[in-house]
């Protein structure tokens, strides 16, 4: 399901087959090595901010690969919040028909949507990550990291008070 997300960026066609094999091998290894962790995520909602980025590439795909590898009645439900400033990468738009994936266009410098629902796990990886660009956009970079993190932590605190606690929280942070 895509919410407010436009058309995919064009992807390179020729080298994809070989690259796809490498990714499939990597994902199989990740699922095997992290089986215990993925089992804990089953049937729960995982929010990944910056999920269209370099690190998001593996975070999103690994959870969806786990769902495919061990089909069960309780898949991991993955939601990606990203501003998609560089467009939606082909690898991510290629996954848009996966029912366990929800793509949302959201700028983490802005307040969180009010209708977030219950997320059991949160990974905050949304930020300008390139030194070239965060020197050009220092305020936006800090806002995504500091205000974005604070908004997510406030959400976690509210969830705790509602007896729907966030069970795990990972912040990548810009260097």
Q: Please report, as ranges, the residues that interact with ligand NAD according to CB under 6 A.
A: 49-50, 52-56, 82-86, 107-109, 125-129, 144, 172-175
Least CB distance from residue 169 to ligand NAD, whole Å?
15
Least CB distance from residue 162 to ligand NAD, whole Å?
25
Least CB distance from residue 155 to ligand NAD, whole Å?
15
Residue 170 DSSP symbol: E
Q: Nearer to ligand NAD by C-beta: 83 or 159?
A: 83
Residue 12 DSSP symbol: -
Q: Nearer to ligand NAD by C-beta: 113 or 165?
A: 113
Which residue sits closest to ligand NAD, CB atoms considered? Answer: 53
The H or E element spanning position 91 is helix 90-93
Instruction: Give the whole-angstrom CA distance, residue 25 versus residue 134.
Output: 33
Q: Nearer to ligand NAD by C-beta: 98 or 107?
A: 107
Select from 173, 170, 172, 171 the least CA-distant residue to 37. 170
């Amino acid at each position: 399901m895509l919410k407010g997300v436009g058309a995919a960026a064009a992807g390179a066609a020729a080298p994809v087959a070989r690259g796809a094999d490498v990714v499939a091998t990597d994902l199989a290894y990740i699922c095997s090595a992290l089986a215990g962790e993925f089992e804990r995520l089953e049937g729960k909602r995982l929010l990944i901010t910056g999920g269209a980025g370099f690190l998001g590439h593996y975070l999103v795909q690994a959870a969806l690969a786990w769902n495919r590898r061990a089909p069960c009645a309780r898949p991991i439900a993955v939601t990606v919040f990203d501003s998609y400033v560089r467009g939606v990468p082909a690898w991510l738009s290629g996954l848009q028909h996966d029912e366990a994936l929800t793509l949302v266009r959201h700028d983490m410098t802005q307040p969180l949507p009010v209708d977030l629902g219950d997320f059991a796990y949160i990974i905050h990886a949304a930020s300008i990550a390139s030194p070239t660009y965060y020197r050009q956009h220092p305020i936006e970079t800090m806002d995504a990291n500091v205000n974005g993190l604070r908004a997510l932590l406030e959400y976690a605190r509210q969830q705790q008070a509602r007896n729907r606690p966030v069970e795990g929280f990972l912040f990548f942070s810009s260097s």
